[in-house]
Amino acid sequence: MAAGTAAALLAALGGILWLAARRFVGSSVQRLHQGGDSGLMRGKTVLITGANSGLGRATAAELLRLGARVIMGCRDRERAEEAAGQLRREVWPTGGPDSGPTSGGAGELVVKELDLSSLSSVRSFCQEMLQEEPRLDVLINNAGVFQCPYMKTEDGFEMQFGVNHLGHFLLTNLLLGLLKSSAPSRIVVVSSKLYKYGDINFEDLNSEQSYNKSFCYSRSKLANILFTRELARRLEGTSVTVNVLHPGIVQTNLGRHIHIPLLLRPLFNLVSWAFFKTPEEGAQTAVYLASSPEVEGVSGKYFGDCKEEELLPKAMDESVARKLWDISEVMVGILK
């Protein structure tokens, strides 16, 4: 019995190691396919929300290496400045974007305060952007809240729907003029495969009748996709494109609200190491959509692993997308 159990454990461990090896080889090939022109984004300004950690930080690092001027829009300015210092040391080990012969034209890094759970913060941020930034080539709506306990934003919205959808909805709309004047420009929206488990309940968008943290996260991610498709329709003929992606399952602090029993943590850590993407791997599709010539002019599409993927019918419902847009305009105060 003991020998059989040991053999089963060894087989399971071997399987995990084999899958991990496969994943890392695959990710290396993808990174090699992505990499290349270190000046691809030179002269372009990119705004990334939630860029101080996880996917946002990894996306910022990649785009800096491609020569972009990156604006980090973050809620906690102190943490953002700390992350920015780390990024500068990683991307510019010789001391600055123009230091030394190997700098490769790496870009510039700017930190701005942005709290997507506060509509007044979003408006102040956009006002500052319009006053200080002559152009915006790429907007990456990356920041998100994942399966948190029930709480409300400053404006009284359920937190996940308020941050993941409404905050970015207002941000994008207020910056559309700058994006249009900078065209050709791009908008990249980070969603999740978990959209499949969500539905748009117009009778209870604020989850006041009932709250399930998993369902509400999925609903906010479905809203991201519906928003992207409706925005793409409205932007036809403007040379501003918008696409949405899922990054896969990534090792980030997004799951900080999920409780894992102490005894199961070593197993969870092993499984996450074997099966989850690193932030750098997870960021590749966002970097691809922000920079690749291959998607120039492509709009309204859903991507995963740098390839277009199919959506469920509920994510392509044009009537729901338009109704959600109209209601969102009222909720954030664009329309009274």
Structure tokens at 130: 């319009």
Distances (CA, A) of 258 to 55, 73, 115, 145, 265: 18, 25, 22, 12, 12
Distances (CA, A) of 294 to 27, 65, 81: 19, 19, 33
Identify whether 217 is a catalytic site residue.
yes
| End-to-end Cα separation, the chain, in angstroms | 71
Burial of 302 (0-12, 13-18, 19+ CB in 10 A): buried
The total number of residues shown for the chain amounts to: 336
Q: How far apart are CA 64 and CA 44, in angstroms?
A: 10
**244 neighbors 304 (Cβ within 8 angstroms):** no
Query: Of the listed 195, 217, 288, 302, which one is catalytic?
Result: 217
Per residue in 256-282, is it b (16+ CB within 10 Å) or e — as a string?
eeeeeeeeeeeeeeeeeebebbebbbb
As annotated, the active-site residues are: 217
